[in-house]
Each structure stands twice: as C-alpha cells, then as structure tokens.
Structure 1
Amino acid sequence: MTVAPVPQVEHRFVDVAGVQVFYRATGPANAPTMMLLHGFPSASHQFRRLMDALGTGYRLIAPDYPGFGHTEAPDGFTYSFEALADIIEGFVRKLGLRRFVLYAFDFGGPVGFRLATRHPDWIAGLVIQNANAYDEGLSPIARELIANRPGVDGAEERVRAILTLPVTRSQYDGGVTDPALIAPDGWTLDQHFLDRPGRKDAQVDLTLDYHSNVTRYPTWQTYLRTHQPPSLVVWGRNDAFFTEAGAHAYRRDLPDAELHLFDTGHFALEEKLPEIAPLIAGFLDRVWPVAPMKIAVIGATGQLGRVVAAEATARGHHVTPLHRDAVDVTDPVSVTAAVSGHDAVVVAVKGPDRLVPRGAQALLDALPAAGVDRLVFLGGGGSLEYAPGLRFVDGPDFPAQYVQTARDQAEALDILRAASTAVRWSYVSPPPIHLVPGDRTGTYRTAAGDTPIVDASGDSRVTTGDYASAVLDALESGSFVQQRFTVGY
C-alpha cells in the first residue's frame, strides 16, 4: 500500500508590537503561498486538516488573532477589527511575505479585506469561505447581533450570552448534512480558549465593534471591483449568520469569480473538506506564477536597471541584461532581435536627443513583432502632479539638471497612453525626488494614478530595493496593465 505524504507543520510565535502571535506553517518555502485567516470563536486550529491535505504542495500560514487561540496580547490591548488588522499586517511584514493568496473565513473577512485595501499588491488571489462583504448576506440573526454596539442598553449582556458551549457548538453542527462528520474537537477547543481569563471581554469588545465592518462594505466592494483579484468563493449555504445571497453577491463585483455552494453550515471545511480542498489546490495552481519568466532588461547596467535585474534573478527568473552595445532602444529592428523569445521586457533608459520617447515608440513597434506582449517602462517621477494639472517638473523647485530627462519621460508616458496596442504596458513612477539607495523592506505601497504616494508626514520616498520589488510584483501578478503606477511608503 502506498501512503500519501504527510506534511510537517511548524508551530511558532513572533512578536508584533508586543503581541506574541502564534501561527502554524507548513509547505515548501518556494511553493504557492496562502495565508489562512480564521473565524469566531476559533483560531488557526480550525485549519489543521486543510494543512494536512495541502501542505506537501503549497505553503500555508495560519496565525491566531489577539484574543484567540494561543496568541497572547499584553494587558491594555484594545480589541477592535482595526487593531486585529494592524497586528496581522505586522505579522505579514515580520515573516517577509511578499505576496500570497488570502483565505478569508468569517472574522477573516473583516481582517483580510482591511489588509487587502491597505496592500492590494500583496494579494495574489482570494479564497472566500462564508466571509461576508454585502448587506444581503446578513441573516436576521446576524443583524440582531450587529445591532449590539457601545451605548446600547443590554448589548454587553446579550453578547456574553452567546459565549457559551451550546452556542459555540451550534456554529459547528448547525446546518450540516451529516453530524457524524463533525468532530467535537473544534467547538471543545474553541470554548476552552473562550473560557480563559479576559477572553470573553475581548470577544465582547470585538462583537460591539462589528458594525464598523458593515460600514466598510462599500470600500471593500470598491477594492474588489477595481483590482479584480482572482477569487474562489466556497460557501456553506445553510449558514445561520451569512446567507447564500452573500456568496452570490460577490459575482456583482467579481464577475469572473468561481462560486461553489455546499449543503453544510458555517464551518464548511468541517464537513466538506474532501470537496473543497481540491478546489483550493486547483485555484492556487491557476493564480500562482509558478513558471520562471524570461525577462529582458534594457538598461541593465544603469542604477535602476541593475537593481531590477538583481531582484528578478533573486526570484528565480531568467534575466537577459541588455546594455547600449547590445541593443539600440530607438531602433525597432534592433529591439526585435534582442528581445525575441522573452516573456517580458523591462526598460530603464535615459539619454539625449529624446532617446526616451523615441525608445517608447520603438518598443511599441518592436514588441509585437518579437512576440512579447508585456512591457514595464521605468519612468520618472517628475511628471507626477502635486496638484491637479500641476506637474513637479514644471515647478520652480525641480532640479534643473533633471528637467529635460523628466520631460522626456513624461513624453514617453504620453506615447504609451495614446497608443492603440496589444502590448500590455505598465509605466512605473518613483517619488518625484526621494528615490534613495537602499535594500528592500517590503513595506512599500503601490497605486495607479498621477499623484505620488506619501507617508504620514507628507513625504514621498522609497528605496531602490523596494522600487525594484514593486516592478517585479507588477510583472508577476500582471497588474497595472495600460496604467501608470507609483511606489512609496
């Protein structure tokens, strides 16, 4: 008899802003990565069977939130969904995750959608399992519970009444087809953690804050509609809290989402893991860029081209560095010969005699002939706007030595935007002034548009390492097509 391989699952803690976050992790480090966000009143242990099922071929990471499972928060921690998202955001950064598929279940929806709206570039795809983001998905029971909020008479008492073993158990076996398939371990362990000192107080605070999630539904829907993350929706249709209508509602903003409904309850994995796990595996295989790309970097000896080429190589892609002796970026024939056979081209050039805009036009002419449909053009930040219609390059304080280069780069952007082309181009702008030497930190943000990304102090800044990482993220995810996007902290 052949025994199927069983993965090793690690159990670790990491300090995030004084919170000792417990997490489970399994799978090869270079495999497609999925972060599993659990629901109420559970913790990462709810994913144990899924990790056993998929952990040999995929990297799965499942943290416990503050107030749940084995995670320990300091005295005085403020329990809100914003605070949970802050801790999970810090957790992602501590682990150095660049990109992952997000599994959102129940409370994992409010936590995960906050994360996705803050860092859309982190999200390679969504697996949504009974995690609601639409008003029609709220059952009458859910609406009654959400009506409890600070200042409402009897709200705390009503919330405490649901933190009991019978109610915890009902979330597992309510709505299932075959109760014999539901292990009692889940609700028993959940209640054990609920009964620990201070845990019910934390759950009261979170439940009284749940209304803050409903007010964010339009924001999350805008994120889905704008970014169109590849999505798999799996749903227990007999959920007492989140109705089947909430599953169908995702197709309104994600028309290409894959939707599967199951005759089971809230904790759908408990009964339907054999059906759901293969769906997740197939989805991960489809959305994750497993195969290395062949990337030609024109201008690979310059400051930015060199850093981008190094980042691409570090990620396992096959890089062809092209300098001016190997290719004339203004000559379509030369470009075609140099980049033929590649999957993508990255361009980082500057020079006299309108070299940059002439190069942009030559690339649009050459790439279809070379059979290359992906282009990332490293442009300048000078054409970004500090006010509507007012570009930095045209301001009195813009450094005089960079004015002509910035205007050439702006003209290249105009050429790309005006082109009717099959080339899937992206134009990447760094901050207008402060693109500084430095390593990748993983904390950068990206956004499509013509204004720079600024930090809390109003400064627009990023390191060359983070800029290069953003370029590769866009290449790997296929994002920001026919768009200019910016990078910053």
Structure 2
Amino acid sequence: MEIPRVSHRFAQVGDVRVFYREAGPSDAPVLLLLHGFPSASHQFRRLIDALGTRFRLIAPDYPGFGHTEVPDGFTYTFERLTDVVEGFVDAIGLDRFVLYTFDFGGPVGLRLAMRRPAAVAGLVVQNANAYEEGLSDLARGMIANRPGVAGAEERVREILVLPVTRDQYEGGTGDPALVAPDGWTLDQHFLDLPGRKEAQVALALDYHTNVAQYPVWQQWLAEHRPPALIVWGRNDPFFPEAGAHAYLRDLPDAELHVLDTGHFALEECLPQIAPLLADFVDRTWAPRTLRIAVIGATGNLGGAVSREALDRAHRVTALGSADVDVTDAASVKDAVAGHDAVVVAVKGPDHLVPRAVAAVLAALPAAGVGRLVFLGGGGSLLAPSGERFVDSPRFPQVYRETALDQAAALDLLRTAQTPVDWSYVSPPPVHLVPGDKTGRYRAQARDTPLTDDAGESRVTVGDYAAAVIDAVEQGSFVRQRFTVGY
C-alpha cells in the first residue's frame, strides 16, 4: 500500500508568507490546487491522499485564508490574490501545471492562466463559474454588494457564521453523512481569527470585478482551447448546473461530468472525481509530439521558433532557401509533406511575403497539411488613432516595404477560400527585443498591440517563439491574427 508523504511548508512572496501543502514525486505531473471560499488548502486533504503518490500536488492558501500570513495593510482584491499566487508559482519553481480551479479558484486561476498561458497544461473546473448563466439569484444578490452600496458590508458579514459555513458543505448533497464536519469547523476557525472577516468582506465587495472579466476569460478560453475537465455539483446554490454547460461554448472538446451533489463536490464525490482527474492528467500532461516544418529556420525568428519546438520534444524540419522555394507551390508541397504543421518566417524583395502566402496556401492541402502559422509583422497593427502603424509618417522607412508586404499577406489569408487552419502572428510594432523565454507573455486575437501597465507593447524573441509553438500545439487562433506582448 502506498500512502503519500505530505509536506506542510511556507514560501515567501514579497511580504506575504504563503502556506502550502505538497505531496508526490518531484518529477511527476503537477496539479496546482486552488481552493474556494471560505476554505483553504485543507479542503484538498483527501484528494492529496488519493493521488499524492502518483502526481505532484501543490495546494497554497491565499492571503486571508488558512495559515498564510500577511502584513498589516494588505489590500484584499482578486488581482492581489492572483499576484501572490503568481509569485508563489515562481517562488517554488513551477513552470507547467494542470490547474484545478474551485469557487474563488476560478477568478484567481483564470487570471493566472491569462498571465501564464504556456504554464497551463490543462484546466480542471469544479464549480468555478465564468458565465452569466452560472450565477444563481443568491449569487447575484451577493455580487450586488460592492463598495458604496448601503448595507453591503453588513450583508456580507451575515454569511460569515457557522450555520452558513456548514450549509455550504452539506447543502445539495445526496448523503450529508458522507461530508466530514472537519472542513466547515476549520473554515469557521479561520474566519473567526482577528482580521479575517474584514478580509472576506473586502473580497466579497470586490467580487463584481470577476463578473466584469467574464467576457475576457471566455475569449481567452475560446482562443487558447486548453484541454479541460469540467466536474460540477449540480445542486450548487451559488453556481447552478448551467454554468458547467456554458463552458462548452468556448471549450467544445472539454470533458463534462455533472454529479448529484452540492458546491463542495469533493466532499461527497471524491471516489468519482479522483479517477476522472487522474485519467485527465495522464492524457494531457505529455503533449503529442508533432512534426513541424519551419520555413525560414535560418533567420532570427524562424530559428527561435525551431529551437522552442525542439525544446518541447517536437520533430522539426528546418528549411532554408536552399531547401525550398517558398514562392513555388510544388517546391513547398514536396518539402512539407508528412508534417502536422508548417511555420513560415520569411521576408525578402519583390513582394516575396505575399507570394509566399499564395504558394503555401496552394501547397498545404496537396501535401496533406492542415495547420499553418505565418509569422507576420507588427506594422499592420492599428495605432490608437485607428491607422496602421505602417501608414504613419513616423514609421521607419527602412522597414516600410517589408511591413506593407506583411500586411498584404494578412489580407490574402483573410480572404482566402482554403481548408488550411491558418494563424497570422504579429509581434509588437516596435519592441520585439532580443531575450530568452520568460513564460509571462500574453497572446490575444486582436488588431491592436497588447500593452503593459505603462502602455508599452514589447516582448522578447524567446517569448514570441513560445507563443508561436503554443498556437501550433493548442490549435488556437484558427483563421485569426493574434499578437503577443506583456
């Protein structure tokens, strides 16, 4: 009989001391377990016992929950919780994980996923809502409590008491005898500690910011299509069953299981959920090895993409001008036949880029290749004025011809009647800078640059290449232009 050895540790994230539980082999697939309200990492104790010899399970406590320690004056918002969880991921060296989201773990986890898309090997959603139809009247009433609303704080405090805490566990269950009292008892202990109710009030009054993010998260899900397992207690009084089915609009390939239980589905249905979770991790952790042809692999960006693909254990055919005439469909067909995907990174005189698009679109169906990612330019992105950057008199003249060719290539892709699942990726219009992969980039389908808090659009070559291979692996941004930035 194998029983996991569970460690209980702290990680320092700035001035926050994050408590977490960890079990499993250091080289095993990683499950990052994000808890809900009003609980903490202890809600995953039985799951850790069930799977902790097979996988590496890591469960942190958020600020304001469990054993995590915060300084006086900590600001409790969902953005700040995500900041701390992101810092925690860095502090313990996690660069890839299956993300388990429950309740509050939904808004924290989806914010984290948008910041670290390459880190998310798979997404597990358990009663973690991201859709309007997944909000009950009870939930909507709580979300209406926000700063400045008369009586809002008092209404939140009314739910921070033992009868309500207990009902969150037992409500909607088929057999309350299967729900241990330890969970709600420990939750209430933490809720009654000095300062904890104030933390929960602040988060409750901030919850409306999550609902405002629903369209953004839905767009991210639809564009990135992470492998997903959705497990839902149908009798949840906060997040009804419709919220589970809504995910299928954006994740049509997700695996969905609706169980006859309540909000804390793991309490009653661990015997059903644990095998589903184990099977999901086994299927999603090791990505399929792809055969990728990179046309233009001798160039700076094509070379970076080739190296990133090789680092992920894909089979790469690096093609230069000596190997293929990218403007000749027959040459392209012969060079890429037998591959799963083609990445094109070319530029040159005599309108080489749009001629290459025409040849590649003609060649790929004949070669039996259905996936294309074309590395385009940032000059065709739109400035705040609405004009393309390439059309501005301030655009560097030395790059104008190439930028116009790349814009023409995008127009050809958008108007082509083709079975090829193409994507066109634009770097920032100016700041595609030398540098290694950090894994902290964002990628989004849009015609304007992605900017940071300072309004600057930039990304390293390493992160740009990683976003390209993400799109190849995930089949994301099909028939769309996307861009990358911090």
User: Which 10-residue stretch deviates more, 252-261 or 229-238?
Assistant: 252-261
Specify the alignment match of 1:104 in structure 2.
Answer: 101
Alignment partner of 1:169 is 2:166: yes
Alignment partner of 1:429 is 2:408: no
Aligned pairs for 1:95-244 (under 5 A) are 100-116=97-113, 125-139=122-136, 141-151=138-148, 155-217=152-214, 219-221=216-218, 230-244=227-241
Specify the alignment match of 2:373 in structure 1.
Answer: 376
Specify the alignment match of 2:289 in structure 1.
Answer: 292
Distance between the aligned counterparts of 1:475 and 1:95, measured in 2? 28
Would the aligned equivalents of 1:67 and 1:202 in 2 still touch at CA under 8 Å? Answer: yes
Q: Secondary structure at the match of 2:383?
A: strand
1:224 Cα deviation from its structure 2 partner: 5.0
Q: Normalization by structure 2: what TM-score?
A: 0.88
Alignment-mate amino acid for residue 186 of structure 1: G
Matched length: 486
Alignment-mate amino acid for residue 344 of structure 2: V
Match of 2:274 among 265, 274, 277: 277
Specify the alignment match of 1:314 in structure 2.
Answer: 311
Specify the alignment match of 1:327 in structure 2.
Answer: 324
Specify the alignment match of 1:441 in structure 2.
Answer: 438
Would the aligned equivalents of 1:121 and 1:445 in 2 still touch at CA under 8 Å? Answer: no
Specify the alignment match of 2:72 in structure 1.
Answer: 75
Alignment-mate amino acid for residue 400 of structure 2: V
Would the aligned equivalents of 2:220 and 2:444 in 1 still touch at CA under 8 Å? Answer: no
Would the aligned equivalents of 1:392 and 1:398 in 2 still touch at CA under 8 Å? Answer: yes
Distance between the aligned counterparts of 2:112 and 2:426, measured in 1? 24
Q: Secondary structure at the match of 1:447?
A: strand
Distance between the aligned counterparts of 1:402 and 1:289, measured in 2? 41
1:422 Cα deviation from its structure 2 partner: 2.0
1:26 Cα deviation from its structure 2 partner: 4.8
Alignment-mate amino acid for residue 59 of structure 2: A
Aligned-residue RMSD, C-alpha: 3.1
Specify the alignment match of 2:454 in structure 1.
Answer: 457
Q: Secondary structure at the match of 1:385?
A: coil
Deviations 1:97-155 (A, max 9, x none): 55654322122223234445666666555432222344554445445544544455655
Distance between the aligned counterparts of 1:325 and 1:252, measured in 2? 45
Alignment-mate amino acid for residue 414 of structure 1: D
Q: Percent identity?
A: 70
Specify the alignment match of 2:354 in structure 1.
Answer: 357
Unaligned runs of 5+ in 1: none
Closer, same or farther: CA 335–20 of 1 in aligned 2, 3 Å:
same
Specify the alignment match of 1:44 in structure 2.
Answer: 41
Specify the alignment match of 1:480 in structure 2.
Answer: 477
Closer, same or farther: CA 10–342 of 1 in aligned 2, 3 Å:
farther
Q: Normalization by structure 1: what TM-score?
A: 0.87
Deviations 1:267-309 (A, max 9, x none): 1111101112233334445555622222222222211122211
Alignment partner of 1:420 is 2:417: yes
Distance between the aligned counterparts of 2:279 and 2:332, measured in 1? 38
Distance between the aligned counterparts of 2:468 and 2:288, measured in 1? 18
Q: Secondary structure at the match of 1:416?
A: helix
Q: Secondary structure at the match of 1:112?
A: helix
1:253 Cα deviation from its structure 2 partner: 5.8
Alignment partner of 1:18 is 2:15: yes
User: Which 10-residue stretch deviates more, 93-102 or 389-398?
Assistant: 93-102
Would the aligned equivalents of 2:224 and 2:474 in 1 still touch at CA under 8 Å? Answer: no
Specify the alignment match of 2:299 in structure 1.
Answer: 302
User: Which 10-residue stretch deviates more, 473-482 or 328-337?
Assistant: 328-337
Distance between the aligned counterparts of 2:213 and 2:384, measured in 1? 28
1:13 Cα deviation from its structure 2 partner: 3.4
1:476 Cα deviation from its structure 2 partner: 1.5
Distance between the aligned counterparts of 1:317 and 1:255, measured in 2? 26
Alignment partner of 1:407 is 2:409: no
Q: Secondary structure at the match of 1:272?
A: helix
Closer, same or farther: CA 423–230 of 1 in aligned 2, 3 Å:
same
1:25 Cα deviation from its structure 2 partner: 4.3
Alignment-mate amino acid for residue 177 of structure 1: G
Alignment-mate amino acid for residue 443 of structure 2: T
Would the aligned equivalents of 1:93 and 1:443 in 2 still touch at CA under 8 Å? Answer: no
Closer, same or farther: CA 66–305 of 1 in aligned 2, 3 Å:
same
Specify the alignment match of 1:344 in structure 2.
Answer: 341
User: Which 10-residue stretch deviates more, 455-464 or 180-189?
Assistant: 180-189
Q: Secondary structure at the match of 2:189?
A: helix
Q: Secondary structure at the match of 1:273?
A: helix
Would the aligned equivalents of 1:124 and 1:477 in 2 still touch at CA under 8 Å? Answer: no
Would the aligned equivalents of 2:224 and 2:477 in 1 still touch at CA under 8 Å? Answer: no
